[in-house]
Amino acid sequence: MSVLIGHLKAVVENQFSELRRSLAGLGDLQLTPAFVRHQTTQLRWNAMSETAKTKAFDSLMKDNGMTNFFSFQMYLRAVLIN
């Protein structure tokens, strides 16, 4: 059982690492349009401190991708009401 848990932990850690790399446009994963605002260039990513990289990753993880949807929905309501 502990071997399975160790393997699953390694898989999850690898996926988080790939997701973090996607912020700089690197790796196998790509951000969808709802999250692309979090992406930066590889040059800028490499110049960032580890603290700034962690902050950028945390911001991505907190984002539910619905910000643009709600903004658009509020815009439609305003247009349709007026």
Confidence (pTM): 0.70
Domain count, the chain: 1
Dump pLDDT digits (tens) for 22-43. Answer: 999 998 888 888 888 999 999 9
Q: What is the dihedral of CA 31, 36, 38, 39, to 10 degrees?
A: 70
Dump pLDDT digits (tens) for 36-80. Answer: 899 999 999 999 999 999 999 999 998 877 665 555 555 566 666
CA dist 65 and 32 (Å) reads: 9
Give start and end residues of each alpha helix (H) in the chain: 2-22, 42-47, 50-62, 67-81
Domain span at 63: 2-81
- Give me the amino acid identity at 2: S
CA dist 35 and 32 (Å) reads: 6
Question: Is residue 38 within 8 Å of residue 60, measured between CB atoms?
Answer: yes
